[in-house]
Structure 1
Amino acid sequence: MSELGSTHPAEPLDASDFSSLQTDNSFARLGSDFYTRLPTTPLKNPRLVHANTEVAALLGLSPRATLSPEFLAVVSGSSSMPGGDTLAAVYSGHQFGVWAGQLGDGRAHLLGEVVGPTGNWEIQLKGAGMTPYSRMGDGRAVLRSSVREYLASQAMHGLGIATTRALSLVSADDPVMRETVETAAVVARVAPSFIRFGSFEHWAARKRPDRVRQLADYVIERFYPECLPPRTGEAETSESRYVRFLEAVVERTATLMASWQVVGFCHGVMNTDNMSILGLTLDYGPYGFMDGFDARHICNHTDANGRYAWHAQPAVAHWNLYQLANSLYTIVSDADKLRNALDRYEPSFLQAMQARMTQKLGLISWHPGDELLIDDLWSLMQANHSDFSMTFRQLAYAPGLTEAEPRRIAHDLGGTIGDGTGSLSPFIDLFVDREAAHAWLARYQSRLLRDPCPWESRVSSMLSTNPLYVLRNYLAQQVIEATQRGDFSELDTLMRVLAAPYTAQTGMERYAALPPHWASKIEVSCSS
């Protein structure tokens, strides 16, 4: 999402360390009401587990820079970033629908803002020590959860979904107590901004409309400049820009939710303090990509009531936007204008879902009645608990839809249908009720005739939309266990696979396979 980084582009650098970078630190200029300045707490004997050279390039750092002692010192929290301004931000929020009051960066430190070749990027360390907002926490992160966050940001970016990025993963000798004693770790996260819905709620709850306005002006001017001028024929008032701002956030959030839904991604803890004002996927904790489809799938073991289940995510995002609108009501006197902005959410979400599902099914355009065909597919998947990702990937090569050679099919489906001899049937074999699958497939085949298109073009389009590789929980768990043993090769391999999830990669068949039986016993919670 480099296009979200605003402002002052720099020439590409071949920097050997952070001292070569130009910094901005615009968030720090908001003033100390918005944060607390404090240093990070160094770890004992930090070791670089992995560095993402693609993200480093966004900052203007060369691959060579990521191997330097200076790089490790900064991303482990041992040294401050040259030209940076280390701080922890304050915010508030609703957690599981209940007002939680003041929260803040309890285990995160913003190191500063880098003027990169394609935009500005904030660098934040997660797990670098206690802050005034740690509450009962120790300010640390563990290797287990840090690996999950590091992989998740790579997976989402590879899928083309708006997300924060991860620059590096560091482990250390420090013991950290969770359910058991675990190994400390630090993730360096990168985003144009880490401001949340809860950042606005914080000042609204404290009856400080001046601070709400200051924060809104900052976000609009840097990240939503299109909201500054009035629309043609629109009467400009001092409040109009804030209404346009809410409209823009509504549309970005609706698009993000559609992007999550169509890949089976569950965030797990969609509190308002975990919602990015830029429409990015933020704060990877108890997330999960669905294996067998269940519309009520709950990925967070802590979420006993299923508030953040897969099917509930779009409605939760809408509810969270209402809380943002309530905060903006302190600086916008006309509540109806805010309500009208919120009313854009449902049509924006439905439009985004229609566009994405049209692509996933290889259709050229949306026709009346397509919603019933798709709803019936969801119902078929629900009844048979068919694998989410494989169902859509294998649909491209379902019987009767192509003239492709078996070996090509086997390759494009990542070895998930056998050895290329044609002994297994794509799509149909994913369903226990094969008769029902055949019946739906016949309807789908008839629908394709309404959008005449060479099968090669349809297949190519579907393969570029339906991922072969997704970050299943069991894959993350295998990387965690290898990394805890000191073997970082599995992490590196999976990072490379997740960078290109739509393209079949030779020798990577095991990353496309159905999960083993033991995978169903993996549980993730808010401590993950």
Structure 2
Amino acid sequence: MKALADLVFDNRFARLGDAFSTPVLPEPLEQPRLVVASAQAMALLDLDPAEADTELFAEIFAGHKLWSDAEPRAMVYSGHQFGVYNPRLGDGRGLLLGEVVNDAGEHWDLHLKGAGQTPYSRMGDGRAVLRSSIREFLASEYLHALGIPTTRALCVTGSMTPVWRERQESGAMLLRLAPSHVRFGHFEYFYYTNQHEQLKVLGEHVLSCHFADCLSAENPWAAMFRAVVERNAALIARWQAYGFCHGVMNSDNMSILGITFDYGPYAFLDDFDAKHICNHSDDSGRYSFSNQVPIAHWNLAALAQALTPFVEVEQLRETLALFLPLYQAHHLALMRRRLGFTQAQEGDGELVERLLQLMQGGAVDYSLFFRRLGERAPAEALRQLREDFVDLAGFDQWAQDYAARTAQEGADQTARRARMHAVNPLYVLRNYLAQNAITAAEQGDYGPVRELHAVLSRPFEEQPGMQTYTERPPEWGKHLEISCSS
């Protein structure tokens, strides 16, 4: 394991030059203190977990010190925000500190959010607040624990720096990790500004660093776009299967790697509602839970437009047409697993769709339904789950069909329970749990956020003494709307 001082940097994106990013130094936070750190994320850099307890750790990730080989830069990009093109966005409060190479030869971007003003801050102060930093930290590490591709979060550093949003809050910084922070919006920026030479440089960089297996294709750009479509189909299927609402699926919040990116007012469904809107600012419901599939397709079309200088339009259209069937196949495979099926049968898609329709409008906790469905033999489990449904006759018919389908699997209940519990989490990152941890952290008590992170790091395993984290949310905690302000 390594100390902080021993990290090795290879800043490939910085070497692209000033057309792609601007050198900026972080603005330090006052009286920094570590709020929470992820030992699992630190391991990606081969960092010794004990480093989190050092004074240097908080100083570096609050902007007071830097490695000599770090090259902090603010990236420039554009993007479609709520369907409207914004020609110049960029890292307005974040900095790419540099790229660390671990002992396995993997490159990891170190990206510091809340690092102060940049040329892309527009009218903003470049800061992040404690609540949003904690929320992104928890979500990043929880989605990873669920097996959903995501950026990772190494730590949150708090401070005494005042930051004004709807009220005065305390400033914080989040250090997140990813193999790349290139977004769909990077490609859009160089396309719409007619900087096609720079667009070519960007594409060749992304190909060589992240899609090397596409370089041998007849048209590497076309092969890369197909890979991006395939990755996003798999990603969105996981979001929908596990009830995750992103909240702000702007094209500048879409990673070229097909990972969950730029957490804002996200939520996991409590009571199932396909129309759920988690973003307080989303008046039209553009980014509602049910709209995430068509919006992902829309964003991929926006990316395809930016690739037209290098790929024929008809080929882009053909590739884009693969998204929905790929999504449907991935989603059905995931839902089969959640329902305890090991074999594929023709009627499974209809069985899943009927269940979701029955859940709508009831009091069915989306996550706990699947967990409890596997707790006991089907007939007994279904009797206990029945009371949360409105259409009891419809549910009874579904339950009968599900029990018959389960009987065809031929597995005993012990094997079925183990199989279902391995994919259906007992512990869910609910907004009210995050809010409770944030409230304590804002009062200087970091114990709750650290405990919540530890519990969520093992979402499928029953953990003694953590029963409170398995309960359904109180009424006040259901369907909390979160704003974009951070």
TM superposition score normalised by structure 1: 0.89
1:84 aligns with 2:42: no
1:349 aligns with 2:335: no
**What secondary structure is seen at the aligned counterpart in 2 of 1:161?**
coil
How far apart in 2 are the matches of 1:245 and 1:481? Answer: 43
Equivalent position of 1:221 in the other structure? 208
| 1:62-86 CA-partner distances (Å, limit 9, x unpaired) | 0122222222221111112331111
1:393 aligns with 2:371: yes
How far 1:438 moved relative to its partner?
3.0
Counterpart mapping for 1:226-241 below 5 A: 226-230=213-217, 236=218, 240-241=219-220
1:483 to 417, 424, 441: 441
Equivalent position of 1:440 in the other structure? 398
| 1:490-520 CA-partner distances (Å, limit 9, x unpaired) | 1111111111111111111111100011113
Distance 1:500 1:328, change over 3 A: same
Q: State whether residues 393 and 466 of structure 1, in contact with CA within 8 Å, keep that contact through their aligned partners in structure 2.
A: yes
How far apart in 1 are the matches of 2:366 and 2:223? Answer: 37
How far 1:61 moved relative to its partner?
1.1
Counterpart mapping for 1:317-336 below 5 A: 317-332=296-311, 334-336=312-314
How far apart in 1 are the matches of 2:159 and 2:361? Answer: 46
1:492 to 450, 457, 466: 450
**What secondary structure is seen at the aligned counterpart in 2 of 1:467?**
coil
How far apart in 1 are the matches of 2:450 and 2:44? Answer: 19
How far apart in 2 are the matches of 1:176 and 1:81? Answer: 27
**What secondary structure is seen at the aligned counterpart in 2 of 1:104?**
coil
Counterpart mapping for 1:170-185 below 5 A: 170-185=157-172
- RMSD, matched Cα: 1.5
Equivalent position of 1:419 in the other structure? none
Equivalent position of 2:238 in the other structure? 259
2:415 to 453, 457, 465: 457
1:205 aligns with 2:184: no
* Percent identical residues: 45
Equivalent position of 1:405 in the other structure? none
Q: State whether residues 341 and 406 of structure 2, in contact with CA within 8 Å, keep that contact through their aligned partners in structure 1.
A: yes
How far apart in 2 are the matches of 1:179 and 1:129? Answer: 19
Aligned structure 1 segments of 4 or more residues deviating by more than 6 angstroms: none
Counterpart mapping for 1:413-432 below 5 A: 426-432=384-390
| 1:304-349 CA-partner distances (Å, limit 9, x unpaired) | 11000111101100100001110000222x2111111111111211
How far apart in 2 are the matches of 1:117 and 1:524? Answer: 39
**What secondary structure is seen at the aligned counterpart in 1 of 2:281?**
coil
**What secondary structure is seen at the aligned counterpart in 2 of 1:524?**
coil
1:44 aligns with 2:35: no
Q: State whether residues 196 and 272 of structure 1, in contact with CA within 8 Å, keep that contact through their aligned partners in structure 2.
A: yes
Equivalent position of 2:272 in the other structure? 293
Equivalent position of 2:51 in the other structure? 65
Identify unmatched segments of 5+ residues in structure 2: none
Letter in 2 for 1:82: S
**What secondary structure is seen at the aligned counterpart in 1 of 2:471?**
coil
How far apart in 2 are the matches of 1:435 and 1:265? Answer: 29
How far 1:394 moved relative to its partner?
1.2
1:277 aligns with 2:263: no
How far apart in 1 are the matches of 2:138 and 2:386? Answer: 31
Equivalent position of 1:153 in the other structure? 140
**What secondary structure is seen at the aligned counterpart in 2 of 1:88?**
strand
How far 1:102 moved relative to its partner?
0.6
Distance 1:243 1:252, change over 3 A: same
Q: State whether residues 399 and 425 of structure 1, in contact with CA within 8 Å, keep that contact through their aligned partners in structure 2.
A: no
How far 1:395 moved relative to its partner?
1.3
How far 1:45 moved relative to its partner?
0.8
How far 1:214 moved relative to its partner?
1.0
Q: State whether residues 72 and 97 of structure 2, in contact with CA within 8 Å, keep that contact through their aligned partners in structure 1.
A: yes
Identify unmatched segments of 5+ residues in structure 1: 1-13, 231-235, 403-408, 410-423
Letter in 2 for 1:21: L
Aligned residue pairs total 485
How far apart in 2 are the matches of 1:142 and 1:228? Answer: 42
**What secondary structure is seen at the aligned counterpart in 1 of 2:361?**
helix
1:96 to 82, 92, 109: 82
Q: State whether residues 22 and 115 of structure 1, in contact with CA within 8 Å, keep that contact through their aligned partners in structure 2.
A: yes
